[in-house]
A and B are shown apart, each in its own frame.
Chain A
Amino acid sequence: GDSVTQMEGPVTLSEEAFLTINCTYTATGYPSLFWYVQYPGEGLQLLLKATKADDKGSNKGFEATYRKETTSFHLEKGSVQVSDSAVYFCALSLSGGYNKLIFGAGTRLAVHP
Chain B
Amino acid sequence: EAGVAQSPRYKIIEKRQSVAFWCNPISGHATLYWYQQILGQGPKLLIQFQNNGVVDDSQLPKDRFSAERLKGVDSTLKIQPAKLEDSAVYLCASSLGTTGETQYFGPGTRLLVL
Contact = CB atoms under 8 A, between A and B. Distances in A.
Interface of A: 4, 32, 36, 42-46, 49, 51, 89, 91, 93, 98-106
Contacts of B48: 98-100
A44 B43 contact: yes
Interface of B: 3-4, 31, 33, 35, 40-45, 48, 50, 55-56, 91, 93, 95, 97-108
A105 to B, nearest CB: 5
B44 A99 contact: no
Nearest to B50: A98
Contacts of A105: 40-42
Contacts of B50: 98
A46 B108 CA distance: 15
A39 to B, nearest CB: 11
Contacts, number: 59
A106 B39 CA distance: 10
Contacts of B55: 98
A89, A93, A99, A101 pick with most chain B CB within 10 angstroms = A99
A91 B45 CA distance: 12
A44 to B, nearest CB: 4
B4, B95, B97, B103 pick with most chain A CB within 10 angstroms = B103
30 contacts: A32-B100, A43-B3, A43-B105, A44-B43, A44-B91, A44-B105, A45-B105, A46-B103, A49-B102, A51-B100, A89-B42, A93-B100, A98-B48, A98-B56, A98-B98, A99-B48, A99-B95, A99-B103, A100-B45, A100-B56, A101-B33, A101-B35, A101-B45, A101-B103, A103-B42, A103-B44, A104-B42, A105-B40, A106-B41, A106-B42
A103 B9 CA distance: 22
Contacts of B104: 46
Nearest to B92: A43
Contacts of A106: 40-42
A98 to B, nearest CB: 5
B42 to A, nearest CB: 3
